[in-house]
């Protein structure tokens, strides 16, 4: 399909720069094949059925945005920014560097923040600004060092309008975040509070956790003109055998599997509800046949993005065009800190 088929006009004032408080007071648009309904996110227990299962992504965002200087080559020390996006092992990460043209294999970079410093060597250069960084520390010591020098990697459409602050360290994390490794939040989960999760449980709606460490590739624009020419970046995920067994059992008794976010959806579809541990670069566009999920909770996405393509595959392109036009007209807030939707599948 043409990427231009997924374009739409979005007024810049619709982009949320901060989340609402409390989290579950955000708006929720119910998108069904027969129409649209406006709700508040805390209405969710009444929009689902007893026996349904919410699937959360329990990844935890790490401070993956680094700033520093190249050292040890020539008389200059140019500034370098790096955004980690895929952990290779205890010591090495793939990252997007800027300006990548200032780096070559073998270069040393010192990343600094206040009194903290962390050195890395450029092990390899890839395409589109990607580099492989080998750090001076490994394992837990590297995690601790990154916490000292790194910043919360806010999406570019927020970071371009304001700086990151301490409030973001709490706001840009789900209340159930557990397993460190993501460089972007699974933002559909930002609307949940402990109180709402208790109410869902009381309503007979259970939940399961999977892990997909969201990479920075989720923010990259689609530069191809046709969707078949776009390549997704790989992300690491895991679905346990016990989780698969419980999800299948819920479905067998009439329960629906509700993915909380496109990250949970992509991982479940990659697994096919079978145990899974590894990387996935699944790219879902209209025509894809869904096999693992029945409903989707998700925020409102960028024009021409892979995520808008995914929701169009799930609920239908024309229905999603209508839903997004409604959201814009009714002052819904877009993107990571914005409002949410509950999508039913296309017939």
Burial (0-12, 13-18, 19+ Cβ within 10 Å), 202: exposed
- The pLDDT value recorded for residue 14 is 93
pLDDT tens readout for residues 160-215: 788 778 888 889 999 999 998 898 899 999 999 999 999 999 999 999 999 999 98
Options 2.40.10.240, 2.30.30.110, 2.40.10.10, 2.160.20.10; CATH for 65-151 is: 2.40.10.240
Please determine, for residue 230, whether its predicted confidence score (pLDDT) is greater than 80: yes
Q: What percent of the chain has pLDDT over 90?
A: 80
| Average confidence (pLDDT) over 15-33 | 96
This prediction's pTM: 0.88
Bond into 22 cis (ω within 30):
yes
Which is the CATH superfamily of the domain at 3-61+168-343?
A: QueA-like (3.40.1780.10)
- The pLDDT value recorded for residue 219 is 67
The three-class DSSP label of residue 76 is: coil
What are the start and end residues of each CATH 3.40.1780.10 domain in the chain? 3-61+168-343
What are the start and end residues of each CATH 2.40.10.240 domain in the chain? 65-151
pLDDT tens readout for residues 292-305: 999 999 999 999 99
CA–CA separation, 332 and 328 (whole Å)? 6
Whether residue 299 contacts residue 264, with contact meaning beta carbons closer than 8 Å, is answered with no
């Amino acid at each position: 399909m043409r990427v231009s088929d997924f374009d739409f006009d979005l007024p810049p004032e619709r982009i949320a720069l901060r989340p609402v408080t409390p989290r579950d007071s955000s708006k929720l648009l119910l998108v069904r094949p027969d129409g649209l309904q406006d709700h508040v996110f805390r209405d969710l227990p009444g929009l689902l059925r007893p026996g349904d299962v919410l699937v959360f992504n329990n990844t935890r965002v790490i401070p993956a945005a680094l700033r520093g200087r190249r050292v040890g080559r020539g008389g200059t020390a140019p500034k370098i920014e790096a955004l980690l996006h895929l952990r290779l092992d205890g010591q090495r990460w793939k990252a997007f560097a800027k300006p990548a043209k200032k780096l070559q294999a073998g270069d040393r970079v010192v990343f600094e923040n206040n009194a903290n410093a962390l050195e890395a060597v450029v092990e390899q250069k890839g395409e589109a600004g990607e580099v492989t960084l080998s750090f001076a520390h490994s394992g837990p010591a590297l995690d601790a060092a990154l916490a000292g020098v790194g910043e919360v990697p806010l999406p570019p459409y927020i970071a371009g309008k304001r700086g990151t602050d301490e409030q973001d360290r709490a706001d840009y994390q789900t209340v159930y975040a557990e397993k460190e490794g993501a460089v972007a939040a699974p933002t559909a989960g930002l609307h949940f509070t402990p109180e709402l999760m208790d109410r869902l449980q009381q309503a007979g709606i259970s939940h399961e956790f999977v892990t997909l460490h969201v990479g920075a590739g989720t923010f990259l624009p689609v530069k191809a003109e046709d969707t078949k020419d776009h390549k997704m970046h790989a992300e690491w995920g895991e679905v346990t055998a016990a989780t698969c067994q419980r999800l299948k059992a819920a479905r067998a008794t009439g329960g629906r599997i509700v993915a909380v976010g496109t990250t949970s959806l992509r991982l479940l579809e990659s697994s096919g509800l079978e145990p899974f541990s590894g990387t996935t670069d699944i790219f879902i566009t209209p025509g894809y046949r869904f096999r693992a999920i029945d409903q989707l909770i998700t925020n409102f996405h960028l024009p021409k993005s892979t995520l808008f393509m995914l929701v169009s595959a799930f609920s239908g392109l024309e229905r999603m065009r209508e839903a997004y036009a409604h959201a814009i007209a009714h002052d819904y807030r877009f993107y990571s800190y914005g409002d949410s939707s509950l999508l039913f599948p296309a017939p």
